[in-house]
Amino acid sequence: MDSARTRTSWWRDAVIYQVYLRSFADGNGDGTGDIAGLRRRLPHLAGLGVDALWITPWYPSPMADGGYDVADYRDIDPLFGTLDDAQALLDEVHGHGMRLIIDIVPNHTSTAHAWFRRALAEGPGSAARERYIFRPGRGPRGAEPPNDWRSVFGGSAWTRITEPDGSPGPWYLHLFAPEQPDLNWDDPQVRAEFESVLRFWFDRGVDGVRIDVAHGLVKAPGLPDLGSLDGKLLEGAHREDHPHWDREEVHEIFQGWRAVADTYDEPRVFVAEAWTGAPERLARYVRPDELHTAFNFDYLMTPWRPDRLRRVIDSSLSALGQVAAPATWVLSNHDVARHVSRYARPQPEGPLRSLSDLKGPADLDLGTRRARAAALLTLALPGSAYLYQGEELGLWEVEDLPEDLLQDPTWLRSGRTDRGRDGCRVPLPWQGDTPPFGFSPEGSRARTWLPQPEAWKSLTVAAEEGDPSSMLELYREALRVRRAEPALGDGTLAWESDPDSTLLVFRRAPGFRCVVNFSEEPAALPEHGTVLLASGPLHEGRLPSDTAVWLKD
């Protein structure tokens, strides 16, 4: 096998599988995924043919935001296992020839973190308080928040504390849930601490780090009001002087992190979660002395429309090419509605992230057909790709989770108007005809932390294995061909279709073409030697609607 671990700059064209740990596989029977479950299921990932895994946060956490509220960056939550389990996992991942990326959350800690507890206990003016962003309130008796910033999950971004002596105190900033106080990145101790945390994990052999909210660490001096600006992750960063998103000063922090990563024999790598406006802004995070890659959310949010997709592919490649960084391509993750469901409805003109951007009931057959074509399109593009667990099974968004089971803080913070992200976080189905579909070990009684739909019995790994028409076999074959084809992975592409055509055709050297048909009618294929792979059956040599094909000269 062409082991990913033997290649340099492996990250330039890696296929990286996102493990949302609490929903991947449960090893101890408590209904929540854990490291033991992941270890047991590693052969699935090795067999799928991915190069690396990215694991969502596994640290001790009260789980107010699925573990993105970290109480200790150097340990593992007992829900998931122990540090020894993490080390064993890492060794096994490496044994399979794969790499491991972990998730670091530097914008905020949990309120349960020792630093925040000390900040509360040690009172005004203490060094402990300097590590967070405390400010006096406005208005009579400081009863109003210090400014108009909004939490991404809804409501004000400020919460008022009570001092140890019982008197009303200042407010602290939390761009996310109140249980996630923002750190003060102007404080040298905060900077030193995170470089030390990086070393802690890199020393153990972790190959890379995904940086949560990379665009949010630095806030504008004086914390000015947003005014008419939007605080949302997406809209926020269109201007360069947004008070808390995508500020220029953030880059200096990541240059320091790069220096840490480069001290290792095989340099460790970074991928930024940075929601920025234009691709040129994203490219600033991946300049040669900074981070290696960043998620391409513009691609993720693009509707299933040929002109929009072509435009985002071109703008991504051009902006990232300017700084010699590879593009990443991502269709789904744990924060957005699964793409089978996004593509299952009439497609809007503008960006498409949540199902509320869409109208009408889902046609899941249509969504699945498009998702299959999207997989071939995505895996043929130059650069690296991220797969979100379950997309290889064709899982759809679970849109009807009972309200009393919803766990995403968005649900309550939005006043029960936004159901949040639980629908894409439902535990994976592995085998069998009824829930928990092998997610938990046989005989365990605990319910899965979110209920699985009965209909997933046809989408289990066992049901799809060996079925040539399944999503799983399509992904396996696509990843096998991608490894074998010299044209695929890092590099460039050349369009062969017209910009306004409903057929996307691009060429990659040597001798490879990807064709995707977005029209209602079957399309003739360009001249070719062999069909390497198709996302659905061809009809009399023609490419049906919403179908993609890989051709060899």
Q: Is 213 an interacting residue with respect to ligand NOJ (CB under 6 A)? A: yes
Whole-angstrom Cα distance, residue 250 to residue 220?
A: 11
Q: Of residues 85, 212, 246, 392, which has the active-site annotation?
A: 212
25 neighbors 448 (Cβ within 8 angstroms): no
Question: Which residue number, 274 or 395, has a Cβ lying nearer to ligand NOJ?
Answer: 274
Would you call 496 a catalytic residue per the annotation?
no
Question: Of 66-85, which residues contact ligand NOJ (CB under 6 A)?
Answer: 68
Q: Of residues 103, 273, 335, 408, which has the active-site annotation?
A: 273
Whole-angstrom Cα distance, residue 290 to residue 253?
A: 9
Question: Which residue number, 197 or 373, has a Cβ lying nearer to ligand NOJ?
Answer: 197
Question: Which residue number, 54 or 396, has a Cβ lying nearer to ligand NOJ?
Answer: 54
DSSP letter for 316, please.
H
Whole-angstrom Cα distance, residue 357 to residue 346?
A: 10
Task: Work out how close the CB of 56 gets to ligand NOJ at its nearest, in angstroms, rounded to a whole number.
Answer: 8
Q: Is 20 an interacting residue with respect to ligand NOJ (CB under 6 A)? A: no
Minimal CB distance residue for ligand NOJ: 68
Could you tell me the two tokens for 65? 């935001």
Selected from 207, 212, 290, 485, the binder of ligand NOJ by CB under 6 A is 212
- What are the distances in angstroms from CA 337 to CA 10, 104, 340, 487? 29, 23, 9, 31
Question: Which residue number, 328 or 347, has a Cβ lying nearer to ligand NOJ?
Answer: 328
Whole-angstrom Cα distance, residue 414 to residue 155?
A: 7
Task: Work out how close the CB of 334 gets to ligand NOJ at its nearest, in angstroms, rounded to a whole number.
Answer: 6
- What are the distances in angstroms from CA 322 to CA 188, 203, 281, 284, 491? 32, 33, 12, 10, 14
- Interface map 138-177 toward ligand NOJ (x if CB under 6 A): --------------------------------------x-
Helical axes 364-380 vs 471-484, angle rounded to 10°: 10
Task: Work out how close the CB of 271 gets to ligand NOJ at its nearest, in angstroms, rounded to a whole number.
Answer: 12
Whole-angstrom Cα distance, residue 394 to residue 372?
A: 8
Q: Is 335 an interacting residue with respect to ligand NOJ (CB under 6 A)? A: yes
Q: Is 65 an interacting residue with respect to ligand NOJ (CB under 6 A)? A: yes
Tell me the three-class secondary structure of 112-181, residue by residue.
CCHHHHHHHHHCCCCHHHHCECEECCECHHHCECCCCCECCCCCECEEEEECCCCCEEEEEECCCCCCCC
Q: Is 246 an interacting residue with respect to ligand NOJ (CB under 6 A)? A: no
- Interface map 368-407 toward ligand NOJ (x if CB under 6 A): ----------------------------------------
Would you call 212 a catalytic residue per the annotation?
yes
Task: Work out how close the CB of 273 gets to ligand NOJ at its nearest, in angstroms, rounded to a whole number.
Answer: 6
What's phi and psi for 310, nearest 5 deg? -60, -40
Pairing of β 158-162 and β 547-552: unpaired
Binding site for ligand NOJ (CB under 6 A): 65, 68, 105, 176, 212-213, 273, 334-335
Tell me the catalytic residues: 212, 273
